[in-house]
Amino acid sequence: MPMATTHSLPLQERVPLNNTLQRASDLTILFLLISLLYCRLISLHFHGFVWLLSFICESWFTFVWILDTNAKWNPVTYKTYPHNLLKRLDELPAVDIFVTTADPKLEPPIITVNTVLSLLAVEYPVEKLACYVSDDAASAATFYSLVQASKFAKLWVPFCKKYDVRVRAPSVYFSTQCPPSVPSALPSDFRNDWNHVKDEYEKLCQRIENACKEKHDGVPKTDEFADFSDVERGNHPSIVKIIWENNKDANAMEDGFPHLIYVSREKRPRHSHHFKAGAMNVLTRVSGVMTNAPLILNVDCDMFANNPEVFLHGMCLLFGFPHEVHSGYVQTPQQFYGGLKDDPFGNQLVVLQHKVALGIAGLQGPLYGGTGCFHRRKIIYGSSPDLPHAHKYDVLSYKEPKQVFGDCRELLDSAAHIRSATMKTSAKLIDLSTKIETAKQVASCTYEFNTCWGKEIGWVYGAVAEDIITGLKIQSMGWESKCMTLDPAPFLGIAPAGGPASLTQFKRWATGLLQFLLGPYNPLLAIIYKSLRFRQCLAYLFFIVWPLRSLFELCYTLLPASCFLTNTSFLPKASEPAIMIPLGLMVSYNVGTLLEYFECGLSIRAWWNNQRMQRIYALTAWLFGFIGGVLKTMGLSETIFELTRKNQNSGESNIDPRRFTFDSSPMFVPGTAVVMVNMVALVVGLVRMMVNGEDVEEGGGDGPGLGELVCSLWVLLSFWSFVKGLFGKGCYVIPWVIVFKAAALVLLFLQIFAKWS
Ligand SMILES: O=c1ccn([C@@H]2O[C@H](COP(=O)(O)OP(=O)(O)O[C@H]3O[C@H](CO)[C@@H](O)[C@H](O)[C@H]3O)[C@@H](O)[C@H]2O)c(=O)[nH]1
Ligand SMILES: [Mn+2]
């Protein structure tokens, strides 16, 4: 690693963040939780089954809280000094950029095009970059869009560099109405250029839109597109096309832009393609035989580079440490743009990124998030850090290279080069077109047979949360990672909009996470047998237990209702001093989390939306993710990766995008049932109170009191979209099939309680 050792200028600085207040608040809550458990334990014999259930649930919440506190305990950020890097530009390593797209309907090509354009225009020596786009749909429209985009890039990239444009995704840049105020010199030039480039961009959009229409009318029938003419989705040979080769003409070096290569891997109906992980592994091999850069950046198709210096900052974190073990990969937080105000679907993850991600950054480093991450290629190839105490997990020590990487001479040579060499890349110009046949070979669906791809090397197969598992595998070898937060944000993506879309995403994550807990990649085993650190393991657990949380939350939301139905209680009476504990918990938890939102500059509304959506996710997406994960582990169902819709302005115009909508997915059944049970319970409680003529508080002996009432109302408040869904109109209403199924569940539940009481 020549860069760090031969020069003394610092590239980064670690800045621990002060979080005394946070720690105090987290510990207060932990103390109250333990007190509550203690109270329950000493009085367990006075009370029945309900207290035991509460005790079990609260023990779980305490466990989760410990995980949460651990994750947030040591937040750090890193300052980066890219100007110190600029003095050694010629030493910068090459980077291969991977962009994945999978469906032109759910991921409109114009989105991918903007991501690609923003990446082609970053501040980095152009001859060191190559951008590979993987298209899992083998769509002529996507290919055509990229070809058109490369033509536009000839205008766009020089324009960005000449005027130091800050946001280099044209759709975002031109969303400002008029030419922005002129940066420095040449005002008249700028205005003309701006108008011209904007015109061209609009034409580009028009062409892409035409190409995306039903029969691809806009796509010309020329040779270039012949490969797509009889492509059947999911059943076609590999397609590899060089859209733009940077070193063809000599003077392109100054103002050119990086290589752009289109890859659609071979697909056959009877071969599993392993979704995104499969696509990433193909890109790794294709780029390995073409440009073989020692670094890899991967981004999802909707994540454009929002900060043109992102590569330079990334290099600071990759090479700014005395030993490379400190920076196996560099992950940027997932941030979103154009999101709805106040985060109505609780999926913009701002506080999670700020509190938890920065906290984990102070441990062994951020988890790999699947997008916006710089990897060292050699780690992807299974290299462990070169340290005596590190876990030696290198497959090549017990297997032949051919058994590991597959049978392709060029790939074996390139891999051997990566594993042995330093970051220096040969400045030798290669003619990419000579590599196409080899690239197609390594992109075929039989190439991986009897190799280590998807297991010991590359992105890990078999789980839909391939990102977290791949990162865990890397950290288990002893590598640390670094979190890169920048202002402006490094990459920005699209958060799913609408109820069903965000549930799909959370359900996939939950399924993937459970597969972890039940599979060979369990982090608990990794601390024992490998080099994962203890507190890092707890940080993984914080995410991995998401699906399990649903069971306890479901139980807890039913507790107050069952108290009304059976005339018992699960909380102390308002007159008893012990009520202070649950009361204190409720207040400190809500105030504590609210302060976190304020600290991140968010509103009280955003806080509430996240609170209620957490509850909703738990009883919809996480619960179904849990079931899906169990079925998958028992071999009863297949792993599938359901894409998240990225088309923001699709759908009917008269729908309020901020309101929760429903469809007939069974995911909505449990939430609807919980709402119904709580409503029935409140009515039962009210009737009993009127019949007996009692005050809620003095309710006969062990009956429900104020605590139960507040909890039940809190559940209804959290599920208010469901309450409205029961009585609403149009797409805001819960479909009758769901209501019917939920009602059946409620009857069953009531039956059980009738027996019990
Ligand atoms: O068969 C597939 C399926 C997906 N993708 C790509 O994978 C990316 C992520 O898919 P998306 O639907 O956007 O999922 P998200 O839930 O938004 O993605 C998050 O969660 C995923 C794991 O569940 C990670 O892989 C992603 O990087 C992370 O951003 C997109 O670029 C897709 O085109 C493929 O290339 N092939
Ligand atoms: Mn996404």
- Tell whether the model's pLDDT for residue 649 goes beyond 80: no
Burial class (CB in 10 A: 0-12, 13-18, 19+), 251: exposed
Note the pLDDT of residue 2. 46
Using pLDDT thresholds of 50, 70 and 90, give the confidence band for residue 6. Answer: very low
Would the CB of 509 count as within 6 Å of ligand 1? Answer: yes
Cα 643 to middle of ligand 1, angstroms: 6
Question: How distant is the alpha carbon of residue 460 from its chain centre?
Answer: 16
Note the pLDDT of residue 480. 96
And the tokens for 46?
A: 């006075």
Q: What is the DSSP string of 283-338?
A: HHHHHHHHT--SEEEEEETT-EE-STTHHHHHHHHHHSSSSGGGGSEEE----BSS
Closest by CA to 102, choosing from 255, 283, 253, is: 283
- Tell whether the model's pLDDT for residue 389 goes beyond 50: yes
Would the CB of 283 count as within 6 Å of ligand 1? Answer: no
- Tell whether the model's pLDDT for residue 606 goes beyond 50: yes
- Tell whether the model's pLDDT for residue 178 goes beyond 70: no
**ipTM exceeding the 0.85 mark:** yes
Using pLDDT thresholds of 50, 70 and 90, give the confidence band for residue 1. Answer: very low
Note the pLDDT of residue 522. 86
**Ligand 1 atom with least separation from CA of 505:** 16
Separation of alpha carbons 757 and 747, rounded Å: 15
Using pLDDT thresholds of 50, 70 and 90, give the confidence band for residue 423. Answer: low
Burial class (CB in 10 A: 0-12, 13-18, 19+), 538: buried
Closest by CA to 126, choosing from 272, 241, 297, 260, is: 260
Would the CB of 465 count as within 6 Å of ligand 1? Answer: yes
| Residue pair 3/87 in contact by the 8 Å Cβ criterion | no
Cα 138 to middle of ligand 1, angstroms: 16
Which residues are within 8 A (CB) of 80 and not within 5 positions of it... i.e. 6 or more apart? 11, 12, 312, 313, 316, 317, 320, 484, 486
Separation of alpha carbons 57 and 64, rounded Å: 11
Note the pLDDT of residue 652. 55
Note the pLDDT of residue 188. 74
Separation of alpha carbons 470 and 456, rounded Å: 10
Q: 276, 352, 373: which to mutate for ligand 1, most atoms within 8 A of CB?
A: 276
| Per-residue pLDDT tens over the stretch 229-259 | 888 888 999 999 999 998 765 555 556 899 9
Residue positions in the annotated binding site for UDP-alpha-D-glucose?
Answer: 107, 136
| Residue pair 490/353 in contact by the 8 Å Cβ criterion | no
The pLDDT of 640-651, averaged and rounded, is: 70
Pairing of strands 259-264, 329-331: unpaired
Would the CB of 348 count as within 6 Å of ligand 1? Answer: no
Nearest CA owner, ligand 1 atom 1? 275
Using pLDDT thresholds of 50, 70 and 90, give the confidence band for residue 391. Answer: low
Residue positions in the annotated binding site?
Answer: 107, 136, 276, 300
| Residue pair 656/498 in contact by the 8 Å Cβ criterion | no
Closest by CA to 493, choosing from 278, 301, 738, 740, is: 301
Catalytic residues: 136, 467
Mean pLDDT of the chain: 89
And the tokens for 646?
A: 């990225």
Nearest CA owner, ligand 1 atom 16? 505
Separation of alpha carbons 177 and 195, rounded Å: 11
Cα 508 to middle of ligand 2, angstroms: 12
Separation of alpha carbons 346 and 502, rounded Å: 9
Q: What are phi and psi of 271, to 5 degrees?
A: -110, 130
Separation of alpha carbons 667 and 503, rounded Å: 8
| Per-residue pLDDT tens over the stretch 570-580 | 999 888 899 99
| Per-residue pLDDT tens over the stretch 136-176 | 999 999 999 999 999 999 999 999 999 999 999 999 999 87
The pLDDT of 34-60, averaged and rounded, is: 91
- Tell whether the model's pLDDT for residue 25 goes beyond 80: yes
Note the pLDDT of residue 635. 78
| Per-residue pLDDT tens over the stretch 673-700 | 999 999 999 999 889 888 876 555 544 5
Using pLDDT thresholds of 50, 70 and 90, give the confidence band for residue 181. Answer: low
Note the pLDDT of residue 732. 85
Query: Helix %, strand %, coil % for the chain, to 5?
Result: 55, 10, 40
Closest by CA to 43, choosing from 52, 34, 53, is: 52
The pLDDT of 642-666, averaged and rounded, is: 76
Closest by CA to 582, choosing from 21, 57, 1, 18, is: 57
**Ligand 1 atom with least separation from CA of 301:** 31
- Tell whether the model's pLDDT for residue 541 goes beyond 90: yes
| Residue pair 620/671 in contact by the 8 Å Cβ criterion | yes
Using pLDDT thresholds of 50, 70 and 90, give the confidence band for residue 546. Answer: confident
How many C-beta neighbours within 10 Å does residue 217 have? Answer: 9
- Tell whether the model's pLDDT for residue 5 goes beyond 50: no
The pocket of ion ligand 2, defined by CB under 5 A, consists of 300, 644
Residues in the chain: 757
The pLDDT of 85-89, averaged and rounded, is: 81
| Residue pair 513/624 in contact by the 8 Å Cβ criterion | no
More confident position, 584 or 397:
584
Note the pLDDT of residue 135. 97
More confident position, 196 or 688:
196
Which CB contacts under 8 angstroms, 24+ apart, belong to 739-747?
739/672, 741/666, 741/669, 742/669, 742/670, 742/672, 742/673, 742/676, 743/673, 743/676, 745/669, 745/670, 745/673, 746/673, 746/676, 746/677, 746/680
% of the chain beyond a pLDDT of 90: 65
The pLDDT of 723-737, averaged and rounded, is: 87
- Tell whether the model's pLDDT for residue 422 goes beyond 70: no
